[in-house]
């Protein structure tokens, strides 16, 4: 067993060292670029011109992005509803096609809400006058209401195709109850998707932390962004490991 472990480690070590070398090269290039930006007096541009540009964009960001993304949601929902209305209860391809379109609705509506929070922060921080900030807040409330409506319609149409999923989109424990009414295949799909998301965030956080660290040499961003990234990373890791421990204990208790 020890020999097998050593052979596995020896085969994997060169690739690991290669990625470490690539990371070091990227870090060196980024550090060099930050030094060049510092010499170009980029800090003044960021502290003066960038806030003005963000303040000008903020009032228009939510209406434009919401119109595009929620427009896509509307088109995909109508196509899914058309498939559902014409479904005879026997054709297995129609529900799958409708699910794919509804997944696009969930994707675009989630992106719309994330961008709403982004533009709201820009409006509060970089716009002058309470009136503009109030307009941005009102735009966000309207957009979020439309996002919630889109997601509620998506859940309702999914329930129509799957009558056993009797869960309201407005339930405070919607995700937990929805998972409970899913069958084994759907739970396995959720598990694979969740693990893929875990891996993506786990790989992205170190690169984001490094990018912010290098930017801190040029721009006065402070420690808070670095701490925020590490906090998200810590919550991800601790939650995943604790859940693995809990599931392992439940498995042992069941045996």
Instruction: Give the pLDDT confidence score for residue 3 in this predicted structure.
Output: 57
Instruction: Give the pLDDT confidence score for residue 33 in this predicted structure.
Output: 58
Share of the chain above pLDDT 70, in %: 77
Of 53-62, 72-81, 101-110, the poorest mean pLDDT is in 53-62
Query: How would you write the chain as a 3-class SS string?
Result: CHHHHHHHHHHHHHHHHHHHHHHHHHHHHHHHHHHHHHHCCHHHHHHHHHHHHHHHHHHHHHHHHHHHHHHHHHHHHHHHHHHHHCCCCCCCHHHHHHHHHHHHHHHHHHHHHHHHHHHHHHHHHHCCCHHHHHHHHHHHHHHHHHHHHHHHHHHHHHHHHCCCCCCCCCCCCHHHHHHHCCCHHHHHHHHHHHHHHHHHHHHHHHHHHHHHHHHCCCCCCCCHHHHHHHHHHHHHHHHHHHHHHHHHHHHHHHC
Residue 247: band (very low, low, confident or very high) from pLDDT cuts 50, 70, 90: confident
Q: Look at 248 and 80; give whichever has higher pLDDT.
A: 80
Instruction: Give the pLDDT confidence score for residue 83 in this predicted structure.
Output: 86
Instruction: Give the pLDDT confidence score for residue 169 in this predicted structure.
Output: 79
Instruction: Give the pLDDT confidence score for residue 11 in this predicted structure.
Output: 67
pLDDT tens digits for range 123-157: 888 877 778 788 888 999 999 999 999 999 998 88
What's the whole-number average pLDDT of the chain? 81
Taking the complete model, does pTM exceed 0.85, yes or no?
A: no
């Amino acid at each position: 067993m020890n020999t097998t472990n050593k052979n596995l480690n020896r085969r994997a070590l060169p690739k690991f060292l290669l990625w470490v070398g690539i990371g070091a090269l990227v870090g060196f290039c980024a550090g060099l670029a930050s030094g060049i930006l510092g010499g170009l007096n980029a800090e003044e541009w960021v502290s003066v011109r960038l806030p003005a540009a963000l303040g000008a964009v903020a009032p228009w960001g939510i209406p434009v992005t919401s119109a595009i993304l929620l427009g896509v949601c509307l088109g995909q929902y109508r196509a899914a509803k058309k498939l559902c209305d014409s479904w005879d209860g026997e054709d297995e391809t129609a529900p799958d096609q409708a699910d794919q379109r509804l997944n696009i609705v969930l994707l675009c509506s989630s992106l719309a809400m994330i961008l709403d929070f982004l533009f709201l922060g820009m409006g509060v921080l970089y716009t002058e006058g309470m009136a503009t900030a109030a307009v941005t807040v009102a735009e966000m409330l309207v957009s979020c209401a439309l996002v919630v409506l889109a997601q509620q319609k998506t859940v309702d149409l999914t329930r129509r195709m799957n009558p056993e999923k009797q869960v309201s989109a407005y339930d405070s424990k919607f995700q937990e109850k929805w998972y409970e009414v899913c069958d084994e295949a759907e739970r396995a799909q959720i598990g694979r998707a969740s693990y893929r998301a875990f891996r993506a965030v786990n790989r992205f956080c170190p690169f984001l932390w490094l990018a912010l660290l290098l930017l801190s040499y040029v721009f006065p961003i402070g420690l808070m962004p670095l701490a925020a990234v590490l906090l998200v990373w810590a919550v991800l890791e601790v939650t995943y490991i604790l859940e693995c421990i809990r599931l392992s204990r439940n498995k042992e208790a069941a045996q």
